[in-house]
């Protein structure tokens, strides 16, 4: 039995709140980063449905598209709710149970009317990886949903996903069955929060010297044409150059996961690595269960240092210790890219971060994992490849990617020069010549504190700027009205420490007035730690009493 994390509880609450607001109409989506515990949240949601609706909730189907995910969802429900009335219907798992009140199903296995009719009246359909539900109606998923709705017009559909975009690059709430995103943990702010609180680990995307050339590979339907892609990627020269560099760059990494373009490519990669003395193996969808298990166990025990993986989506690869991803599979698909990165950012006490060796140009093309390129709201006009629309730049010192707005390299703390507009193709020489500064921690006198009410993507907040002379040393964002309780709690804690009379304001406006009218204590000095692209406030010094900076949550340079 496991307990849910606070944000997982909130995600569940947001679904019920949504239905309350819409009088039980509408199909909501919960967006949580791959690696943040989506399956347990789903399990918690289902349990809550049964607790709330009792016998009126006679049937819930949990649907996904591959057997690994069916297994994963099944296990998550059992872990969270031992003794749940749970069954499995999946041809590839050789199980065809229809009588249980909750059934984990493969979408292909139950797609035919004669099959899904066996389940009778279904109350709720929970779809895992719901970005795969197409916008088009004449598809397996959409026909199944329509068929179940015929049996029960009040059928509810709830989607869970790690990305709000479909494979063909449309928003999930655009032209489909899903109406609203009711909870989204995939913003830059929440992503960073998850990492800081050890719910997920940091990714270090690095641009190796060698880059796979896909300039001649055609794009169709939002993705590279597979055959042409394989021809461009699966060559001796590419394999040799990419893997030689991998062996160098990943020498202190224990578990490498390599993304390939096809089974043959994966075999060639493994062949090369084994010859070079790196014990490795292929894991692909066509393996029988015994072999697959043997290889996964071997990877986990360290017998295989590297695994070459064929289809990112075909694996429910939940191994938190993976500390290096090697991308040999160029993609145009944001969701595929995010799924791949997600394999490395699960939290594990055994690693500090996950190195992403991107030979495929995916980061430059699609952006950083916490802030990926967003498809245009109105689909139709295609993105131009190579336009450099992704907001990233490359650190000239360590070749890691950083968000275009970062002041410091997340990997090595190199300070990006502010005057130069940087792109991935900027002249590196010029930048290297500039002064490099590696700073960790310093205490600065605060001469003045500035307050302002600002509107951000995350709602209205009070922006607090700590000044030393004319320089802004660090900032706090106080989001007391946030719907996310961890931000609101952090905001209240921030106020509690400062409020002279102990009063906690009810909203942002009231808070601003308190700040401006001198009702809040102000620090005489702050200690700022520079790490990655962030200036984190380690502590505030209020006339001798030092308060840790953790309470405020987020401070950015
Ligand atoms: Zn760097």
Query: In angstroms, what is the span from residue 412 Cα to ligand 1's centroid?
Result: 4
Q: What residues does the ion ligand 1 have nearby, CB within 5 Å? A: 395, 397-398, 400, 409, 411-412, 414
Provide, for the chain, the percentages of residues in helix, strand and coil under a 3-state DSSP scheme, each rounded to the nearest 5. 30, 25, 45
Query: In angstroms, what is the span from residue 532 Cα to ligand 1's centroid?
Result: 9
Query: In angstroms, what is the span from residue 53 Cα to ligand 1's centroid?
Result: 53
Phi, psi values for residue 533, rounded to 5°: -85, 10
Supply the DSSP string of 166-235, one letter for each residue: -TTS-BTTSSSS--EEEEE--SHHHHHHHHHTTSB-EEEEE--S-----TT--EETTEE-HHHHHHHHSS
Q: What 3-state DSSP class applies to 231?
A: helix
Query: In angstroms, what is the span from residue 407 Cα to ligand 1's centroid?
Result: 11
pLDDT given for residue 368 in this prediction: 81
CATH 3.40.50.300 region(s) of the chain?
Answer: 6-186, 201-390
Instruction: Give the sign of the dihedral formed by CA 540, CA 541, CA 542, CA 548.
Output: positive
| CA separation for the pair 417, 72 (Å, rounded) | 46
CB 321 within 8 A of CB 350: yes
| CA separation for the pair 317, 331 (Å, rounded) | 19
What are the pLDDT tens digits along the chain (557 aa)? 688 999 999 999 999 999 999 988 899 999 998 888 899 999 999 999 999 988 888 899 999 988 878 988 998 899 999 999 999 999 988 999 999 999 999 999 999 999 999 999 999 999 998 888 888 888 899 999 999 999 999 999 999 998 887 765 577 888 788 999 999 988 777 888 888 888 999 889 999 999 999 999 999 988 899 999 999 999 999 999 999 999 999 999 999 999 999 999 999 999 999 999 999 999 987 888 899 889 989 999 999 999 999 875 545 567 899 999 999 999 988 878 888 888 899 999 999 899 999 999 999 888 888 777 765 544 444 443 333 355 788 888 888 888 887 788 878 888 888 654 444 443 333 333 333 334 467 888 898 899 998 887 778 899 999 888 878 888 888 988 888 777 888 888 888 888 888 888 989 999 999 998 888 889 999 888 775 555 678 788 887 777 776 544 444 43
Query: In angstroms, what is the span from residue 367 Cα to ligand 1's centroid?
Result: 17
Residues 6+ apart with CB under 8 A from 409: 395, 397, 398, 400, 402, 415, 416, 532, 533
- Could you tell me where the DSSP H helices lie in 392-484? 428-433
Query: In angstroms, what is the span from residue 392 Cα to ligand 1's centroid?
Result: 13
pLDDT given for residue 379 in this prediction: 41
Query: In angstroms, what is the span from residue 393 Cα to ligand 1's centroid?
Result: 10
Query: Which one, of 62, 75, 67, lies nearest residue 315 by Cα?
Result: 67
Query: In angstroms, what is the span from residue 399 Cα to ligand 1's centroid?
Result: 6
Strand bridging mode 525-531 / 534-542: antiparallel
| Two tokens, residue 118 | 């066996």
Query: In angstroms, what is the span from residue 511 Cα to ligand 1's centroid?
Result: 38
Query: In angstroms, what is the span from residue 233 Cα to ligand 1's centroid?
Result: 27
Q: What is the DSSP letter of 498?
A: H
Question: Is it true that domain 6-186 has CATH number 3.40.50.300?
Answer: yes
Query: Which one, of 283, 288, 286, 411, lies nearest residue 352 by Cα?
Result: 411
Complete edge-to-edge strand list for the sheet that includes strand 280-283: 202-206, 353-358, 324-327, 256-259, 306-309, 280-283
| CA separation for the pair 400, 240 (Å, rounded) | 22
CATH number of 201-390: 3.40.50.300
Query: In angstroms, what is the span from residue 418 Cα to ligand 1's centroid?
Result: 15
Query: In angstroms, what is the span from residue 445 Cα to ligand 1's centroid?
Result: 28
Query: In angstroms, what is the span from residue 409 Cα to ligand 1's centroid?
Result: 5
CB 345 within 8 A of CB 201: yes
CB 495 within 8 A of CB 505: yes
Query: In angstroms, what is the span from residue 414 Cα to ligand 1's centroid?
Result: 5
Query: Which one, of 397, 395, 333, lies nearest residue 365 by Cα?
Result: 333
Strand bridging mode 60-64 / 124-128: parallel
| CA separation for the pair 436, 420 (Å, rounded) | 15
Query: Which one, of 157, 204, 118, lies nearest residue 27 by Cα?
Result: 157
Query: In angstroms, what is the span from residue 408 Cα to ligand 1's centroid?
Result: 8
Query: In angstroms, what is the span from residue 396 Cα to ligand 1's centroid?
Result: 7
CB 33 within 8 A of CB 189: no
Q: What 3-state DSSP class applies to 213?
A: coil
Query: In angstroms, what is the span from residue 73 Cα to ligand 1's centroid?
Result: 38
Query: In angstroms, what is the span from residue 402 Cα to ligand 1's centroid?
Result: 8
CB 290 within 8 A of CB 358: no
Query: In angstroms, what is the span from residue 410 Cα to ligand 1's centroid?
Result: 7
Query: In angstroms, what is the span from residue 400 Cα to ligand 1's centroid?
Result: 5
| CA separation for the pair 297, 291 (Å, rounded) | 10
| CA separation for the pair 298, 296 (Å, rounded) | 5
| Two tokens, residue 367 | 């952006």
Q: What 3-state DSSP class applies to 399?
A: coil
Query: In angstroms, what is the span from residue 398 Cα to ligand 1's centroid?
Result: 4
Query: In angstroms, what is the span from residue 300 Cα to ligand 1's centroid?
Result: 30
pLDDT given for residue 429 in this prediction: 35
Query: In angstroms, what is the span from residue 368 Cα to ligand 1's centroid?
Result: 15
| CA separation for the pair 233, 260 (Å, rounded) | 9
pLDDT given for residue 114 in this prediction: 95
């Amino acid at each position: 039995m496991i307990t849910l994390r606070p944000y997982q509880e909130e995600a569940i609450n947001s679904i019920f709140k949504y239905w309350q607001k819409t009088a039980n109409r509408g199909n909501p989506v919960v967006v949580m980063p791959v690696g943040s515990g989506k399956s347990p949240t789903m399990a918690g949601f289902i349990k809550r449905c049964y607790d709330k609706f009792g016998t009126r909730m006679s049937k819930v189907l949990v649907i996904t598209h591959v057997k690994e995910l069916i297994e994963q969802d099944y296990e998550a429900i059992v872990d969270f709710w031992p003794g749940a009335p749970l069954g499995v219907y999946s041809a590839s798992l050789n199980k065809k149970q229809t009588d249980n009140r909750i059934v984990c199903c493969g979408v292909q296995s139950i797609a035919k009317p004669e099959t899904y009719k066996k389940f009778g009246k279904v109350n709720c359909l929970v779809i895992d990886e719901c970005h795969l539900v197409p916008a088009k109606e004449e598809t397996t998923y959409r026909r199944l949903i329509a068929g179940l709705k015929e049996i029960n017009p009040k059928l509810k559909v709830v989607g869970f996903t790690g990305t709000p975009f479909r494979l063909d690059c449309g928003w999930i709430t655009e032209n489909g069955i899903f109406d609203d995103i009711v909870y989204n943990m995939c913003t830059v702010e929440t992503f960073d929060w998850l990492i800081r609180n050890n719910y997920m680990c940091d990714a270090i995307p690095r641009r190796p010297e060698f880059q796979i050339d896909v300039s001649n590979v055609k794009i169709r339907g939002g993705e590279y044409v597979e055959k042409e892609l394989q021809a461009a990627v699966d060559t001796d020269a590419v394999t040799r150059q990419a893997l030689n560099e991998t062996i160098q760059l990943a020498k202190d990494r224990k578990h490498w996961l390599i993304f390939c373009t096809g089974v043959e490519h994966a075999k060639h990669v493994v062949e090369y690595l084994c010859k070079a003395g790196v014990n490795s193996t292929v894991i692909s969808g066509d393996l029988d269960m015994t072999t697959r298990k043997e290889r996964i166990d071997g990877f986990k025990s360290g017998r295989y240092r590297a695994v070459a993986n064929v289809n990112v989506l075909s694996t429910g690869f939940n191994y938190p210790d993976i500390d290096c991803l090697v991308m040999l599979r160029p993609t145009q698909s944001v969701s595929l890219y995010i799924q791949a990165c997600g394999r490395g950012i699960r939290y594990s006490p055994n690693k500090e971060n996950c190195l992403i060796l991107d030979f495929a140009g995916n980061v430059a093309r699609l952006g950083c994992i916490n802030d990926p390129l967003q498809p245009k709201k109105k689909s139709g006009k295609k993105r131009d490849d190579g336009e450099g629309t992704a907001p990233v730049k490359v650190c000239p010192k360590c070749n890691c990617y950083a968000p275009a707005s970062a002041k410091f390299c997340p990997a090595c703390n190199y300070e990006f020069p502010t005057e130069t507009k940087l792109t991935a193709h900027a002249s590196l020489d010029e930048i290297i010549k500039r002064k490099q500064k590696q700073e960790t921690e310093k205490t600065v006198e605060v001469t003045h504190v500035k307050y302002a009410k600002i509107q951000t993507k995350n709602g209205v907040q009070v922006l607090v700027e700590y000044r030393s002379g004319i320089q802004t040393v660090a900032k706090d964002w106080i989001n007391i009205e946030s719907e996310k309780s961890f931000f609101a709690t952090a905001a209240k804690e921030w106020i509690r420490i400062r409020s002279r009379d102990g009063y906690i304001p009810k909203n942002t406006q009231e808070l601003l007035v308190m700040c401006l009218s001198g009702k809040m204590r102000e620090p005489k000095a702050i200690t700022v730690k520079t790490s990655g692209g962030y200036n984190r406030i380690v502590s505030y010094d209020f006339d001798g009493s030092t308060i840790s900076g953790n309470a405020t949550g987020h401070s950015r340079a």
